[in-house]
């Protein structure tokens, strides 16, 4: 009986040794997995843009917003008082069967934000064409709303006035740089700059019903509902 008890004890001890060894060997993998999870940062991206012809039928209004935009490097620059520059591009594309889609017209909106550590205020500068608007904010949320939101117009006569029956959609992206390196110089000197350029993100089909009429003032539907552009884009 004593021999049986000793054998059972040794067997139990052996099982415990295996379990402990397994936990020890697995702990580096668990630690690495936790470290990867902790260091994960969402990729900067544009919200899926909304694009529509305004009531006058003269321009397409494109709206979007940059999200997940601040990484650690940009944060360090920003907190030290250096300006961050954002260059938004919005473009209109024509969907073409059996061929690559064509980019027909585009516009660029440049914005800059700088933080004053002494005054604890934020200055946002918006450059649209030749007009420059500078605004100072005490509330960070309001400053970021002004900085990251894109709303711009693209004249219709540049692309769809002659062919409103065709299929069009909008695309947007944003280039972000820190310091004094401006866009597009920042793209050429990518190895010297701090920042990034997002991918293109695309809207659904732009409805051209406002441009169509049968002579009685009634709008005529164009194209197929539910169409989604072929290029890959993001969703909110």
pLDDT digits (tens, 9 = 90+) for 136-172: 999 999 999 999 999 999 999 888 888 888 999 999 9
Give alpha helix (H) positions in 83-222.
Answer: 140-148, 185-188
225 vs 92: CA distance, rounded Å: 19
70 vs 76: CA distance, rounded Å: 10
Residues 32 and 51 in one domain: no
Mean pLDDT, residues 71-92: 90
Has residue 60 been placed in a domain?
A: yes
Reported as half-sphere exposure (CB side, CA atoms, 13 A), residue 217 has a value of 0
- Put simply, whether the predicted model's pTM sits higher than 0.85 gets the answer no
Owning domain of residue 100: 45-211
Q: How confident is the model at residue 26 (pLDDT cuts 50, 70, 90)?
A: very low
Domains in the chain: how many in total?
A: 2
Look at residue 24 and tell me whether its pLDDT is greater than 50: no
Q: Is 64 exposed, middle or buried (0-12, 13-18, 19+ CB in 10 A)?
A: buried
Output the average pLDDT for the chain. 76
Residues 142 and 107 in one domain: yes
Has residue 140 been placed in a domain?
A: yes
């Amino acid at each position: 009986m004593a021999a049986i008890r000793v054998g059972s004890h040794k067997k139990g001890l052996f099982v415990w040794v295996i379990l402990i060894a397994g936990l020890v060997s697995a702990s580096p993998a668990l630690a690495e997995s936790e470290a990867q999870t902790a260091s994960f940062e969402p990729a900067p991206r544009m919200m899926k843009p909304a694009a529509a012809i305004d009531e006058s039928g003269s321009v397409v209004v494109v709206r979007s917003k940059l999200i997940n935009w601040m990484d650690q490097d940009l944060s360090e620059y920003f907190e030290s008082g250096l300006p961050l520059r954002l260059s938004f591009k919005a473009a209109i594309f024509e969907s073409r069967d059996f061929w690559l889609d064509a980019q027909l017209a585009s516009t660029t909106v440049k914005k800059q934000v700088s933080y004053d550590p002494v005054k604890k205020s934020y200055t946002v500068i918006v450059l649209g064409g030749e007009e420059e608007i500078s605004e100072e904010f005490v509330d960070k949320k309001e400053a970021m709303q002004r900085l990251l939101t894109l709303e711009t117009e693209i004249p219709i006569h540049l692309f769809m006035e002659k062919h409103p029956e065709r299929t069009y959609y909008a695309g947007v992206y944003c280039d972000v740089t820190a310091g004094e390196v401006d866009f597009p110089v920042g793209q050429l000197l990518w190895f010297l700059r701090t920042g990034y350029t997002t991918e293109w993100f695309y809207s659904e089909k732009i409805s051209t019903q406002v441009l169509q009429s049968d002579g009685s003032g009634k709008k005529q539907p164009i194209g197929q509902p539910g169409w989604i552009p072929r290029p890959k884009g993001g969703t909110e």
